Structure 1
Amino acid sequence: MAHHSNGNDKQVHYVGDSRVRADRKKLYPKDYAEFPGKTEAFFPDFLLKEWMVAAVFLVGFMTLVMSEEPPLGELADPTNTSFLPVPDWYFLFLYQLLKYKWASGPFVVIGTVLLPGIAFLALMLVPWLDRSKERRPLKRPMATGIMIVTLIAICALTWAAEYQHELQSESVPGRKPNDTTVIGLNEQGYRIYQKNACIKCHGDHLQGLNGPSLLGVGNRLTHDQINHIIDHGRGAMPAGMFQGSPAEKQVLINWLLQQKQK
């Protein structure tokens, strides 16, 4: 116990010999509204808000999961050789990354460990790389730049994976689209199609046998593209397979252009 040196009778209590006042008050940060974006107690103010947001999101997510049954695909069929496995949408960008030569085969470690590791490590290190007190994106070029580049890369790879998967699905032999109606089976174009042995690879109903399905080819290819494929071939189809006259080729192309899906 001690007295103030100014002579008043107020007693000051100390803890042991540390000269720390026993009646000390907790230090609270200044009002957050007074300095927006610059000061806020991490615990409990900031952490409590994060917990509340997480709780609301979790409740909403659980409600959605319990109210809607998860979509299930067809039953697994080991005899279905036209099935193309593909990961869930949130892994499509990694799936696409492994298709490139420099990230697959002998370099698979680059695509599976190195590049994803660098990307996620950069995101984790953003708070230490950019320690600015600013919250506006334009005032935080490093954090904003890393996030924008990452989002663009993920979106581009996801789109490429989905697009290539659709192309592969259309070219798988024996795989039938939703609308399998063949237009104009009694027309001259179909007879030319049969005459030139197209039917051996593409099937009598364009369903695809050794070659890809031509159902809906009118939606996918233009007149010039079909003409180029007939003349020069594509994939396993060699050039010069068509043995008819130029007029017959045009009739065949026009007939193929009619094969459209709704």
Structure 2
Amino acid sequence: MAHNQDGNQKQVHYVGDSRVRVNSKEMLPPDYSQFPGKTEQFFPDFLLKEWMVAAVFLVGFMTLVMAESPPLGDIADPTNTGFLPVPDWYFLFLYQLLKYKWAAGPFISIGIIVVPGLLFGGLMLAPFLDTSKERRPLKRPATTWIAILSLLGVIGLTWAAEAEHVIQVTSSAGTPAKDKKIVAEQDKGYELYKKNACIKCHGDKLQGVQGPPLLGVGDRLKGEDEKLTRKEIEHVIDNGRGAMPAGMFQGSEADKQVLLDWLMKQKQK
């Protein structure tokens, strides 16, 4: 009831707006019990399983980290001509892919854009292309086989890159030939050879490690028919060659002549 200025009473009528919706239905999660074994509630059921798997993986990973120290390579050496750089293991398959003719040279765009784009693009579009409600891999053969073939391709390329790298490192290091051996290993020239760090690049058996082998250097041919003379060996010691810098020998002139005498004895047998 309400009163006007004259003191008369008047009735006040309230009119409801039909445009205002009345939300009488409660927002409750669906009952998943009617779909046994096919679906589950994301939180907390599915998310709890994910957390448990992540925790087990983290514990295993940290155990390996603490039990096995990571392998470290040699100290960086700018004079190392035998070093073959390769990317980390998770990029080795792309590194190997670029070695093939159809994905390198004039077709380099196939190796660096087309193939990786198809792989990662397909991975991103998989949820939109495969709309099957089945979660079991056997019920989704197309997607399952594509994933398996992609995984096998990555593993195969990674394995090939690692195997080829090991072969290249082994061949670049070199091994002593059966018909050659070091002459006068007890000679003072061998002591000078070790003292001036020649052994680091050419090896303790002259087999060549980061530098070329010196076995048979005393009568090795230079070019087609000219022998590598004492003067030419001395020129290399003084001025360097290739990745070998000049001034590596840090002895007297007499010591250098002793080293030259010893190197000239290293002939083929």
TM-score interval (norm. to shorter): 0.5 to 0.7
What is the letter of the counterpart of residue 28 of structure 2? L
What is the letter of the counterpart of residue 35 of structure 1? P
Report what 2:50 is aligned to: 50
Report what 1:20 is aligned to: 22
CA distance in 2, matches of 1:20, 1:55: 46
Report what 2:133 is aligned to: 133
Q: How does 1:174-193 map to 2 (within 5 A)?
A: 175=173, 190=179
CA distance in 2, matches of 1:36, 1:107: 49
Deviation per CA, 1:216-258: give whole Å up to 9, x if none.
Answer: xxxxxxxxxxxxxxxxxxxxxxxxxxxxxxxxxxxxxxxxxxx
Report what 2:112 is aligned to: 112
Q: Alpha-carbon deviation of 1:93?
A: 0.5
TM-score relative to the length of structure 1? 0.55
Structure 2 residue ranges without an equivalent (≥5): 1-15, 181-202, 216-269
Q: Alpha-carbon deviation of 1:91?
A: 1.3
Q: Based on CA coordinates, which of the two structures has the bigger radius of gyration? A: 2
CA distance in 2, matches of 1:67, 1:32: 45
Confirm or deny: 8 A CA contact 1:84 1:169 kept in the other structure: yes
Q: Alpha-carbon deviation of 1:83?
A: 1.0
Confirm or deny: 8 A CA contact 1:134 1:140 kept in the other structure: yes
CA distance in 1, matches of 2:17, 2:59: 48
CA distance in 2, matches of 1:81, 1:62: 37
How many residues were matched structurally? 178
What's the % identity of the aligned pairs?
61
Residue aligned with 1:76, SS: coil
Q: Alpha-carbon deviation of 1:131?
A: 1.7
Change (3 A) 1:15 1:92: farther
Confirm or deny: 8 A CA contact 1:96 1:161 kept in the other structure: yes
Deviation per CA, 1:65-122: give whole Å up to 9, x if none.
Answer: 4665432211111111111111222211011011112222333222112211111111
**What do you get for the CA RMSD once the two structures are aligned?**
3.8
CA distance in 2, matches of 1:210, 1:68: 35
CA distance in 2, matches of 1:29, 1:43: 13
Report what 1:97 is aligned to: 97
Report what 2:78 is aligned to: 78
CA distance in 1, matches of 2:115, 2:33: 40
Residue aligned with 1:153, SS: helix
Change (3 A) 1:206 1:155: farther
Confirm or deny: 8 A CA contact 2:138 2:144 kept in the other structure: yes
Confirm or deny: 8 A CA contact 2:97 2:157 kept in the other structure: yes
Change (3 A) 1:19 1:207: same
Structure 1 residue ranges without an equivalent (≥5): 1-13, 192-202, 214-262
Q: How does 1:241-260 map to 2 (within 5 A)?
A: none
Deviation per CA, 1:124-144: give whole Å up to 9, x if none.
Answer: 222222222222222101210
What is the letter of the counterpart of residue 169 of structure 2? S
Confirm or deny: 8 A CA contact 2:32 2:41 kept in the other structure: no
Change (3 A) 1:156 1:51: same
Residue aligned with 1:71, SS: coil
What is the letter of the counterpart of residue 102 of structure 2? W
Q: Which has the higher contact order (CA 8 A, sep 6+)?
A: 2
Residue aligned with 1:190, SS: coil
